[in-house]
Structure 1
């Protein structure tokens, strides 16, 4: 018979292991000495120790799932409970219990972590949905479109939620993108329609411009080209790929007309240079009358100059405003002199001025007599008051006499 602190072998070769609940049969040994039997079952115990140690390390240092960990613990626990080993089996059971508790703690931590991650993911996706729904109403087509594509990439990088929540959020997200896409397509379809209409209108303007390019009716045709230019601007832009070509054709037609007109006007201006010299002489002759002193003589001289002016004929277009302005200035001066002369010789106005002057003279003379009377009577206060009134009336009389003198009266 052989024994140690955790087991023994009886004379029949039965091996026992000591536990807190008493001895249990670990097995039997018939092939050797009792010492060899204990050593064999002790090695089986050490194997369990190693196996538990490895499992403890895996639970603490790897992402071993709770299901796999509990399965492994259960497998080892069956071996420990079976007692086919010699050693401190109660200590192994305690280690397994502690390890099972650790697995439960890790499992709870993972559930909490998954719950936090799910909540963070839900909030992130709700934020993406809210931004997408806001962008769906935007008219910044390029910027909003690029941002929506970036939101899709962000969405794809997030974990999935439970199917119901994830599907609901995705439906809102997808609906916002579709709404934006429909609005953008409608906008550009309308824009394309507008550009096509602009192209058709500009084609018509070009056709008219090309037809007018050979006209020699310079004034009306130039006026019509200005109208065509206003209509061109009002038509809006055509498609980008044809706008430049349309403008080049429209401009070329105008250039043909204005180049021809310029040549004709250049030839005509050369012929009109002599006329300009003669009109400059007439303008200088008219300017010598200034300032106007004899209205009748000035009007007669201006009439003669005007007749000769008309007989000279046209001058170059670029010189016309300046030379005509010189003559108009003299005509204005003569007209103002005539107006002043008329006012000065107007009989009715002279009569009114004479009548006013007479009335004021009577008032002034009467006031002077009243002042002398008051002074003689010793009423100085009344005399002082009358003198103040006399001063005002005298000023009016002086002004009336001046006006009457202007009429030669």
Structure 2
């Protein structure tokens, strides 16, 4: 009989293994010596040790599922319980029991992790839904559209929830996207209609602008072009493929008109500059008539100067007030001289002036007599009062005498 610490072979060739529950039959060996029988079944044991070690490593270091791990543990446990090996089978059972505990712990850990991931995914998807519902009301069509597309990509990268929750959140998310798309479609449809209206309006403006381009009614046509520009701005933008072409035609028509006007105005400006030079010379000639000593000669000379003035034509607008002001100064001097001459030679006016002067002189003489009488009587108060009255009458008399003097009297 042969034996070792964990097993033995009896005289009949039966192999036994020692366990906590007593000896268990491993098998029968008839092919060789007892030592060979023990060595054979010990190698079987070493094989189980290796397999259990490999399974422990897989459980600890890989993502082996709990189900697959339990299946593998069960398979090994069956081999250990079959007692077809010689060795410390109780130790192997203990290792398998610990491995079961580890698998259970890993399963709970993964379950908790999945619950955490699911909770995080739920919050992430709820946040995406809230943002999408906010974007559904946005008028920032390009930015909001791009953001919604990015949210879809983010959604696809998140784990699925339970079917009910996932479907409910997706419904809200999808509805928000659809609402935005519907509003954007309506907006651009309305915008297309507005741009078509703008195109038609600008076609009419271009047609009128082109019809006016050869006009020589400079002022009225320029004013109308300004009105057309105001109407153009108010019409809004046409479609991109039409806007630039319409604008080039519209602007081109204006350029034709304003280029022609500028050419004419340049000639006119040159002519008016020459006119200004001539009128300045005439103004200087008129100013030489001042001061007026011979009214008749000055009037005749000014008339001749004015006739030449009127024949010259327009001068630049900004220079007109100054040069015309010089002529008006001479003209006013002539008018004042004529009025003075008229007053001097008017018999009726002279008679009225003489009569008024006589009346005032008589009043002054009378007051002087009354003052002398009051002084002689010692009535100083009355005399002072009369003297004040005399001063007023004397001032009027002096003024009247001056007027009479102008009449040559």
**So what's the TM-score if we normalise by structure 2?**
0.72
Q: Which secondary structure state, in structure 2, belongs to the residue aligned with residue 24 of structure 1?
A: strand
Matched, 1:104 2:69: no
Is residue 323 of structure 2 the alignment partner of residue 323 of structure 1? no
Partners of 2:289 and 2:224 in 1: CA distance: 44
Q: Which residue of 2 aligns with 1:30?
A: 30
Alignment CA distance shift 1:309-1:74 (3 Å): farther
Question: For 2:18, what is the secondary structure of its paired residue?
Answer: strand
Residues 65, 288 of structure 1: CA spacing in aligned structure 2 closer, same or farther, 3 A cutoff? farther
Distance 1:329 1:73 in 2: 125
- Cα distance between partner residues in 1 of 2:326 and 2:123: 84
Number of residues of Structure 1 aligned to a counterpart in Structure 2: 340
Supply the distance in 2 between the matched residues of 1:60 and 1:70 (Cα, whole angstroms): 14
Relative distance call for 1:135 and 1:56 in structure 2 (3 A) is: same
In structure 2, distance between residues paired with 1:305 and 1:232: 54
- Residue by residue over 1:1-37, the C-alpha shift from the partner in whole angstroms, topping out at 9 and shown as x without a partner, is 2222222222222222211111222222222232222
CA contact (8 A) 1:7 1:17 kept: yes
Query: Secondary structure in 1 aligned to 2:238?
Result: coil
Rounded to whole Å, the distance in 2 between the matches of 1:10 and 1:157 is: 67
Aligned to 1:379: none
Contact 1:202 1:246 in 2 (8 A): yes
CA contact (8 A) 1:278 1:312 kept: no
Specify the alignment match of 1:212 in structure 2: 212
Where 2:12 maps in the other structure, the secondary structure is: coil
Distance 1:127 1:306, change over 3 A: farther
Structure 2 Cα separation of the partners of residues 306 and 134 of structure 1: 84
Cα deviation, residue 70, structure 1? 0.6
Residues 330-367 of structure 1 show CA distances to partners (whole Å, capped at 9, x for unaligned) of 869969x99xx9xxxxxxxxxxxxxxxxxxxxxxxxxx
Distance 2:123 2:45 in 1: 52
Show the counterpart of 1:234. Answer: 234
Q: Secondary structure at the match of 1:26?
A: strand
Report if the CA contact (8 A) 1:121-1:161 is conserved: yes
Q: CA-to-partner distance for each residue in 1:248-306, whole Å, 9 max, x for gaps?
A: 2112222333333344444455555554334324545677899x999x99xx89x9699
Write out aligned runs for 1:6-21 (5 A). 6-21=6-21
Task: Determine which structure has more spread, i.e. the larger CA radius of gyration.
Answer: 2
Q: Secondary structure of the residue that 2:30 maps to in structure 1? A: coil
Give the 5 Å matches for 1:142-161. Answer: 142-161=142-161
Residue in structure 1 matched with residue 73 of structure 2 by the alignment: 73
Alignment match, 2:116:
116
**Alignment correspondent of 1:52:** 52
Cα displacement (A) at 1:67: 0.6
CA distance in 1, matches of 2:112, 2:203: 71
Gaps of 5+ in 2: 340-387, 401-409
Aligned twin of 1:277: 277
Structure 1 residue 170: Cα displacement: 1.9
CA deviation digits over 1:71-115, x for unaligned, max 9?
011111111112122221111111110111111111111111111
1:83-102 aligned within 5 A? 83-102=83-102
Q: TM-score, normalised by structure 1?
A: 0.72
Superposed CA RMSD: 3.6
- Give the secondary-structure state (helix, strand or coil) at the position aligned to 1:30: coil
Structure 1 Cα separation of the partners of residues 92 and 261 of structure 2: 115
